[in-house]
């Protein structure tokens, strides 16, 4: 799986341990291209602390809040599953699903990160 320049531009803004976990989760969910980049973009946009790294509010996705690596892996898995099921390439439609309360703002941030070089 090759990584595009745009995806690498997002990856290099994250701590290495986070990038490694997100890459592993992306591979587990067979994300590539824009879908893989979106996983990294979600981490940048949400930027949550332990238990909310990817903005997943589901209680089950927050159960490892005391362990940063386990927590990020679990949050990333929930996000990756949503990407796998819901991302058709249309970022605006995905934004409405992933962040319904404030999707226009979320979409603008995501679009900016998706096109970063």
Q: What is the pTM of this model?
A: 0.93
- pLDDT band for 1, please (50, 70, 90 cuts): low
- What are the Cα distances from residue 105, in Å, to 22, 38, 46? 24, 16, 12
Around Cβ 95, how many Cβ atoms within 10 Å? 21
Q: Under a CB-based contact definition with an 8 Å cutoff, are residues 21 and 76 in contact?
A: yes
Q: How far apart are the first and last CA of the chain?
A: 19
Is 70 exceeded by the pLDDT of residue 14?
yes
Q: Check residue 63 and give its pLDDT.
A: 78
Q: How far apart, in whole angstroms, are the C-alpha atoms of residue 101 and residue 61?
A: 19
Q: How many domains does the chain have?
A: 1
Q: Which residue has the tokens 């949503």?
A: 82
pLDDT digits (tens, 9 = 90+) for 40-98: 999 999 999 888 999 988 877 777 777 889 999 999 999 999 999 999 999 999 999 99
Supply the range of the domain harboring residue 64: 5-114
């Amino acid at each position: 799986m090759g990584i595009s320049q745009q995806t690498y531009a997002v990856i290099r803004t994250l701590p290495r341990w986070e990038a490694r976990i997100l890459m592993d989760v992306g591979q587990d969910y067979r994300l590539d291209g824009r879908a893989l980049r979106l996983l990294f973009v979600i981490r940048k946009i949400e930027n949550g602390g332990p238990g909310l790294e990817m903005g997943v509010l589901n209680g089950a996705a927050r159960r490892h809040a005391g362990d940063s690596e386990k927590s990020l892996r679990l949050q990333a898995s929930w996000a990756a599953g949503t990407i796998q099921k819901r991302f058709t390439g249309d970022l605006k439609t995905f934004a409405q699903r992933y962040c319904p309360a404030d999707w226009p703002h979320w979409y603008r941030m995501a679009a900016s990160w998706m096109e970063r070089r």
